[in-house]
A and B are shown apart, each in its own frame.
Chain A
Amino acid sequence: MAEMAHENGPGGSPPGPAADTSWRQRYWKKNLRMVVVLLAIWFTVSFGFGILLIEPLNSIEILGFPLGLWFAQQGSIYTFVILILVYALWMDRIDDEFGVAERGGDGERL
């Protein structure tokens, strides 16, 4: 909660025009940083493990699957699903932190 109050503006002063643009930049920066992290994982698992490193990884075998093949046909897809879920959950938190979540009149999430 302390963090939320902090994001409302420096020292709790009423947000003027200057404060207004600063929250926008911070929100966008946070968003972009997260997207970059998630896309780095996206690239590593699919293009990295599933294509560029598939041959060395194939020398490791788990449950009959050569590991590179497993990443290319199974592991990358599991990762994609998790990445989108993490993105959606994380954005909910950032939206709340900055007070830009979509809410109805009673403050309930839409």
Chain B
Amino acid sequence: MSDIQFWTFFFIILTFAIYIFIAWRSRVKETKEFYVASQGVPTIANGAAVAADWMSAASFIGMAGLIAFLGSDGSVYLMGWTGGYVLLALLLAPYLRKWGKFTVPEFVGDRYAESVRIVAAIAAIVVSFTYVVGQMSGGGIVFSRFLNLTVEWGVVLCAAVIFIYAVLGGMKGITYTQVAQYTVLIIAYLIPAFAVAYQTTGIPIPQISYGTILAELDALSLEFGLHAFTEAFAGRGSQLDVFLVTASLMLGTAGLPHVIIRFYTTKTVRGARYSAFWALLFIALLYLTAPAVGAFTKLNLLQGVQGASPDDLPDWVQTWGATGLVTVNENVDVIQTVSNNAASGADLIVNNDILVLASPEIGGLPAPIVGLMAAGGMAAAMSTAAGLLLVISSAASHDLYFRVMKKDGASERQQMLVGRIAMAVAIGAAIWAGINPPAFVAQVVAFAFGLAASTFFPILILGIFWKRANAAGATAGVLTGLVFSGSYMIYTLEVFGTSANDPIMGISPEGIGAIGAAVNFAVTIIVSLLTRPPSERVQEMVEEIRYPATRQERVPSGE
């Protein structure tokens, strides 16, 4: 067993033991505990849980690599996946918390109509499930590289641990496990980043010091046939596209059910506001570091292969070559071109996804740090998967089964049982899909945001801020948004066997969600105005969620 393998085993077994211990301590008996952790989660803990839930395998493993090659335009992910929290905190979280129900479809059902609830529940399941599959295969990559397990066994092992703590502990177990997972993943992300920054620039604060290498990085990038890191709109093509993709990711973030649901678990409306602050602060720690990791790793990578022949490359090229994620053209004398695109025909082709996991090796850091990195990647994948599985379980049991198939009510025990069975089925399906990923999963995950932006976001906002919005409007808005964005994605992408067409006006399919949201807003407003206003009771409910508590006649005068 190599040093790296030893440390990887060490950290993964240690962290898994911690997760299961926490889950055992917080096992639950009631549906309120199972779905919203009894609304008793302290604010900072909830913030950390949201952050772990949010930062998936894609954020941890993929993002810095993506930014390394996108350069300046990597900002679409950085701003898109953080800016949405401002919308969430200011426009949604406090009001949905005041509403005080278990799920997002439930809010939509109360506010508009039962039919909208069913559509929302199905959409929540589809969006969350495609997302889970991505996490499962992310976990599989970590296992196959570091532990020499097959991807299949990696996925099964990862799912088994999630199964134990999610089914046992529900939202409560998941939340406290996520706090631990956040701690693991942020330490695993920051330590190598600080080490690489110190090694390269002598300043151990990567967020500040990566500025000092940008000029050198630009020059090297051009030398190897890549565009300059600091050049705007070179990575994604056009300003319009960067604008729309950023907007779509922001609106989608604010509309994704597995994020919104986390603000139902706080004690108070005030707690929901501060949770959003802590969540974004914790997320920002990683997101501010990611572009620095991308820049440093790319610099080290390019310096390492500069003037080297294919036989004379650094060791990491060999070790990662075994996973098929790094390929070298053996027929050239000296590596002259580098790319992340397999179709580019460059001398050295490096997949985006390995940059973070390989960064300690590329930067020449010791084995324990590589092991920690693997544990961090697992924590990111598992925490997100668990949160998503809970959304699937609650949508399937709470919103569909007990509303549609078994309307005559059920005992607390029955509801818990169905919730747990739904989660077990979801995990089983996720294992199967993680082992046999459908070809278009990677794309669908990215487009989950576009669909969330063009379906959920507008009707949630209007539902809270405009009393006149009604069921007919919301139904029409959601369906038009879905059809509009969905058909543009199918038109521009190869999914379901269709051929890809050129995007219209250079708008990539990731950016269509922002336009879909605008269409949804317009349709919901117009149709609502043409039909009858919602009932007095609903309007009164909308009025009530504006005020955190009933007004006290005498204001406490701060003595």
Contact = CB atoms under 8 A, between A and B. Distances in A.
Is B a genuine binding partner of A?
yes
Interface of A: 1, 4, 7-8, 15, 23-24, 27-28, 31, 35, 38-39, 42, 46-47, 50-52, 54-55, 58, 62-66, 68-70, 72-74, 76-78, 80-81, 83-85, 87-88, 91-92, 95-103, 107, 109-110
B82 A77 contact: yes
9 contacts: A27-B546, A52-B243, A83-B90, A84-B85, A88-B270, A88-B274, A99-B552, A100-B551, A103-B556
A6 B43 CA distance: 32
B230 A66 contact: yes
B331 interface: no
A42 B86 contact: yes
Contacts of A74: 207, 288, 291
Contact of A98 (B281, B287, B551): B551
B467 to A, nearest CB: 11
A8 B207 contact: no
B273 A91 contact: yes
Contacts of A68: 232
B246 to A, nearest CB: 7
B438 interface: no
Contacts of A39: 86-87, 90
Interface residues of B, number: 58
A47 B273 contact: no
B10 interface: no
Contacts of A95: 270, 548-549
Nearest to A41: B86
B428 to A, nearest CB: 38
A7 B474 CA distance: 37
A81 B555 contact: no
Contacts of B554: 8, 99
A51 B242 contact: yes
B89 A73 contact: no
B556 A63 contact: no
A35 to B, nearest CB: 5
Interface string B527-557: 0000000000000000100111111111111
A28 B546 contact: yes
Contact of B549 (A4, A28, A72, A101): A101
Interface string B237-272: 001001100110000000000000000000111110
A102 B552 contact: no
Nearest to A4: B555
B551 A99 contact: yes
B211 interface: yes
A99 B558 CA distance: 12
A99 B551 CA distance: 5
A84 B78 CA distance: 17
Contact of B86 (A63, A80, A109): A80
Contact of A103 (B271, B287, B552): B552
A47 B213 CA distance: 26
B72 interface: yes
A101 to B, nearest CB: 6
Given A28-B546, A63-B211, A84 B246 contact: no
A99 B553 contact: yes
Contacts of A31: 546
A110 B281 CA distance: 22
A52 B79 CA distance: 14
Given A1-B557, A55-B232, A102-B270, A85 B86 contact: no
Main secondary structure of the interface of A (DSSP, over half): helix
Nearest to B559: A107
B83 A42 contact: yes
B285 to A, nearest CB: 10
B89 A87 contact: yes
A66 B212 CA distance: 11
A109 B215 CA distance: 52
Interface string B81-98: 011011101110010000
A37 B239 CA distance: 26
Interface string B485-502: 000000000000000000
Contacts of B239: 51-52
A95 B98 CA distance: 14
Nearest to B546: A28
Nearest to A15: B553
A99 to B, nearest CB: 4
B78 A77 contact: yes
A92 B270 CA distance: 8
B276 interface: yes
B213 A64 contact: yes
A96 B280 contact: no
Given A46-B83, A46-B246, A100-B550, A65 B214 contact: yes
A69 B280 CA distance: 21
A24 B547 CA distance: 8
B306 interface: no
Contacts of B271: 110
Nearest to B543: A24
Interface string B276-309: 1100110010011001000000000000000000
B548 A69 contact: no
